[in-house]
Each structure stands twice: as structure tokens, then as C-alpha cells.
Amino acid sequence: MRKRKWMALLLAVLLLPVFRPALAEQEEITVTVGGKYMFGNEETYTVTRPELIEAARRELSAAVPAEAPEQKHSSFDIQLSLDGETVSLYYDDLYCATYLEKEGQLYQMDGTFGAKLAYPARLWLETAGPDFSVSEKNAAFLKEWGWTPFFTLAETSVTLPEKLTASIADEADLYFTWADLFLRQAGFDLTPWLGKEVDVSILGLWETAERSRFVSRDREQDLHVTLNLRCVLLHAEGQIIGGFIAIGRHNGEWMMSLDGKTAFELLDIDDPTAYLVSHAVLTEQEKRLSKASPEEVIRQYMETAPGEMNGFAPRAQLLSELAANMNDDMLFVTWEEQLAMQLYWLELDGEEMGFPTAAASVEPMREENVYRVITDQGADWYVVLVWESEETGWKVTACYDHYV
């Protein structure tokens, strides 16, 4: 009888590790996001990564009693469930303020907490939504650099350019010439992989950054505006060959190295995109335009067909437009996709592009570098120019069919 008891006890001990996972509940955060900026939609997601759960606990425990804000601005209403408790939060993305309501008391939190929680929900408005599974390889790599992956936005691929020449004729060339600044800062060299296809992971990060770091060297602008961050990791032959931070939608030039340096901090100049011009190999169109007067540039611009106008735009503007109206699960949009989008909206509005056309007259306006153009058909256009560099000359930054 005693032998049987010992056998039963031994069997129980051996089986205990097998059943233990089933008995323990996995910790998780459940978040529901709605409100003004969700446009009547409501999205719910669950997070199980331990480092994110601990980060949320730290944020919640640091909340302090606060008075109600005088006015709610652009808002997200958030329900967060953690440790068997559900709390309500309100995030004001205009002033980057996050408030917690609990047991009739209002608390203020780190303003970026609301931005972090709202980030995945906003993506459902424009993409298939984030994947909260992150490969251990990507997670471990980012942890070494001090970043916390939140979710995976896309696993895709891209063919790197043959050379890095900031070409306006090749989207990948322009994009990666700029990205190379941030890759090299972190010690990565794309040279062995140029001209080859590489795999790309695009991930949303838990960390945020102030917009002022990307728009002003003295950081006096937009100090209250918080940006969510995406990380781009490049893979080849089973290894991670490079990575950088890219804000994404609408701002193709806003990037950061993995050690946290922006272009202003790396180059220490007022216009960091001059870096592109210094690395550029000019097209024949650009060479001709570089010697032209403002009036000649405008006349040639008006006579150029849509899809052939890249040579008239500053490189900084072209770089930014690589992310214009882009979904955040994309690396960049192509020139062809941009033109198709532009034509689509014009057709939707019942308008015509109006180009190419001929300028009957070009006259400077009172404002510097603004010109009024009257076409040979009598239409009015207003063109804004900027001097880009000695090498590239005058560029067109905007063209309006009304005076602004």
C-alpha cells in the first residue's frame, strides 16, 4: 500500500509542470478606444507582452490627482482593463494630456500614455490593423537599442537601389539615401546589399517623441505635440542588416537613428535636407533647370505634363511626399501611386489638372517668390518658388488656381 502511495505522489510531481500553464492565467491588458478622432468607430485590442504590461502599471501608478480641464479638444475615450480592474481615460492629442477617472476622482498622467494606447486603434482606420505578435528576433534586437516593440505593422520586402544618389527618378534611391544617414549613425552599412532585395519589418514602438525634434533645430516649436514611432528593420541572409526610426504617414523626411538622433541633431544645420542635394546626381532635366531664371522655370513647369514634374520640386518636398497619405504599414508610396491618387481626387471633385499648358505672362507678386501666371487660355495660376541650392537653382513648392 505504501508503495502505491509513493507511486501516485511521484506521478503527480511529474505531471505538475505539464498542467501548471493551464492553471495559471496569462496576464493581459485589454484596451477599447473610441471618441472624436475615431469618427464613430470603436476598437478593442489585447496586449500580453510582459514588458508592456509592466510599463502600463508604472504609468498608472504614477497618476496624480488633477482638476478637470476647462475644455476637451481632439479626444480619444479609452477603457483599460488590467489586474481585474477597468478604468476610464481621456486623451487630448492637441495638448498631449492624459486623464484617468477612478472612483469619482480625476487623475492626470504622463500625456504620452494616451498617445500610446490610441496608436493601434487609429491604425484600424487606414490599415488591416496591427499584429500584436512580434518576433523574438526583432524584439531582442530592439531591446539592445533601448526600444520596446508594441506591434508588427508589416512584413514586406524592397529592392535597394544600385547606388545612393538621392535620385528624383527612383523613389527607393531618394528614400534610402536619406535613411542611410541614420543607418550609418547606428553603425550599419548597406553597401554590400545595394541592388538586392531585402526583407523589411515595420513595427510600431511603445516609445514616443516630441515633434519639435523633427521640425526645428532650436526645438521651440510644437513642444506639446507627441508623435508615435515606427521602426524599420532590414533583413538579409538571416540577419538584421540595419534599422532606423521612421515616423511614416505624411512625413517621409522625419527619421531617427536607433541611438535616438534626428537629422537636426546629426547635421547641426538649419536645413538638414541640404544633405540630399550634396549627395545628388542630377537628372538632365535638373541640369537644364538649374541655370534657368524664376520666370523660365515657371514657363517650363506649366508646359510639363503631370508625372514629369519631379525635377521642378525641391528634394526635401519629394522626400516628404513619399509618405503623403501613406498607410503606416507601407515603407513609402511610388511616384506612380502619388499621381494616380492626385488624378483620382481631381476626378472626384470634377476638376481637370490643367497641365500641360502655356504661360502667356508671368508676373511677380508683392510677396517674395510668388508669381501670377496667366495661361494662353486665360486661366489664373499662382506659383511659389524657393531657391534650393547653387547646384539645383529655383524649385516650385506650390501652384494654386487662386491667390492665397
- Rounded Cα distance between 283 and 305, Å, is 17
Contact 372, 360 (CB under 8 A): no
Cβ atoms of 78 and 32 within 8 Å: the answer is yes
pLDDT score for 404: 63
Average pLDDT, rounded, for the chain: 86
Return the ∠ at Cα 141 (arms to 138 and 145), rounded to 5°.
130
pLDDT value, residue 128: 80
First to last CA, the chain: 97
Q: What is the reported pTM?
A: 0.87
Residue 140 corresponds to which amino acid? Answer: A
- Spacing of C-alpha 206 from chain mean position: 14
Under CATH, which number does the domain 29-123 receive?
Answer: 2.60.40
Pairing of strands 64-65, 105-109: antiparallel
**For residues 104 and 116, which has the higher predicted lDDT (pLDDT)?**
116
Query: Which residue in 192, 274, 191, 200 sits closest to 244, CA to CA?
Result: 200
Residue carrying C-alpha cell 524592397: 158
pLDDT in tens, 51-108: 999 999 999 999 999 998 877 776 899 999 999 999 999 998 888 899 999 888 999 9
Order of all β-strands in the sheet with 359-364: 359-364, 370-375, 380-389, 393-400
Instruction: Tell me the Cα Rg of the chain.
Output: 26
> Checking DSSP bridges between strand 393-400 and strand 75-82, what pairing results, if any?
unpaired
Cβ atoms 360, 376 nearer than 8 A: yes
Cell numbers for 28, please give them: 493581459
| CA–CA dist 33, 45 (Å, integer) | 9
User: pLDDT tens for residues 353-364?
Assistant: 666 788 889 999
Q: Over the stretch 163-189, which tens digit does the pLDDT of each residue have?
A: 999 999 899 999 999 999 999 999 999
Neighbours of 194 (CB within 10 A): 16
Rounded CA-CA distance 239/242 in Å is 9
- CA distances to 285, 293, 306, 346 from 288, in Å: 5, 11, 18, 30
pLDDT band at 14 (very low <50, low <70, confident <90, very high): very low
Retrieve residue 399's grid coordinates. 501652384
Give the Cα separation of 27 and 33 in Å (integer).
20
CA dist., res. 334 & res. 127, Å (int):
18
In 3-state terms, what secondary structure has residue 189? coil
Question: Other CB atoms closer than 10 Å to residue 389's CB: what's the count?
Answer: 16
- Cell numbers given for 361: 505672362
230-259 residues labelled b (16+ CB within 10 A) or e (exposed): bbbbbbbeeebbbbbbbbbbebbbbbbbbe
CA 131 – CA 141 distance, rounded (Å): 18
Residue 297 reports pLDDT greater than 50 = yes
Residue 18 has pLDDT above 80, yes or no: no
Residue type at 258 in one-letter notation: L
